Structure 1
Amino acid sequence: METKYELEREKLQLNVTRKFAADINEVWRAWTEAEMLDQWWGPQPWYVITKFMDFSEEGKWLYSMNGPAGEKHWSVMEYLEIKPEKFFSSNHSFCDEDGFVIDKLKTPLWEISFARSGNSTVVKVQITYQREEDLDTILEMGFKEGFAMGHSQLDELLKTI
């Protein structure tokens, strides 16, 4: 399956669509449980370690993205709205190891929806930035390639559930 991207520059949005060959409850768990996120979130050879996760409205997921040379970059996802197996939204920010956001202006809004499609699940991610330069920076960092690699890792994980 292929990760598809649509850039809506005038809205400062990046829309991502991916179909997964798994039931919606399995895909939902993979996006909302730390034990599963740690297995696929982030492009190899990078990997994620969750420090804390409370998947609830006003809850947070604090994790580090760890590189092969010992690099460690912290992020926090602050959950805003959750509709089980249908949708959740969050602010996603770079932060320090205690979860304090480094630059609130660079915090994009993530809106993630899940829909059944036969025996598969379609996930749509809409990421809205506050500034065009932040959208450009994330694209220059290789977000599209890295997110697609993470989705491929998720495909493999879903085969084992």
Structure 2
Amino acid sequence: MTVISSTQSPEALSLTIVAEFSAGVERVWQLWEDPRQLERWWGPPTWPATFETFDFQPGGKASYYMTGPDGTKARGWWRFTAIGAPDRLELEDGFADDDGNPVEEVGSARMSTALEDTGAGTRMTVTSTFANADQMEKMIQMGMEEGMGEAMGQIDAILAGAPV
């Protein structure tokens, strides 16, 4: 399993997931900057993602949907706020309606990703910071922590060169 820790911090309104991979930082970075590679792991195995737009630059936006086992589509959006290739990514993350518009009543979270060379590979730390305690609790209850862990659990196979 690639995930080595998952920590909820109600005080900091954050969820932090740390994973380690036996590939270099630049290779792991590609999993974020290439939407086709991102689709192979973003979302749990039973909810694969499809990115419809992906403008990977500060201020750029991405829109995607995850398709559930019954065909249900859950839509989301990102707004990239900072990109420091190949080791830092920050974005605003939210849900979208069927037309791709942000779902305001849910709000958005900030997500930061840091990639660090461990000598034996890469440590990836993903921290989601929520607007308030209610939002954090709702996201945790919706399965965000488990879903992110399952999603990251797919990365080793991609790095090992598993076919699409």
TM-score under structure 2 normalisation? 0.92
Tell me whether 1:17 sits opposite 2:18 in the alignment.
Answer: yes
Cα shift at 1:105: 5.8
Aligned counterpart, 1:48: 49
Tell me whether 1:109 sits opposite 2:110 in the alignment.
Answer: yes
Give the secondary-structure state (helix, strand or coil) at the position aligned to 1:134: helix
Aligned counterpart, 1:84: 85
Higher helix share: 1
Cα shift at 1:32: 2.0
Aligned partners of 2:17 and 2:149 also within 8 Å: no
Aligned partners of 2:5 and 2:18 also within 8 Å: yes
* C-alpha distance in 1 between matches for 2:24 and 2:87: 12
Cα shift at 1:19: 0.8
Instruction: Give the letter aligned to residue 48 of structure 2.
Output: Y
Q: Percent identity?
A: 25
* C-alpha distance in 2 between matches for 1:98 and 1:78: 17
Cα shift at 1:2: 2.8
Aligned counterpart, 2:134: 133
Cα shift at 1:97: 4.3
1:6-57: per-residue Cα shift (whole Å, max 9, x none)?
A: 1211111111111111111111010221000111111122111111101100
Q: List structure 1 runs of 4+ shifted beyond 6 angstroms.
A: none
Deviates more, 1:39-48 or 1:1-10: 1-10
Q: Unaligned stretches of 5+ in structure 2?
A: none
Aligned counterpart, 1:6: 7
After superposition, the CA RMSD in angstroms is 1.5
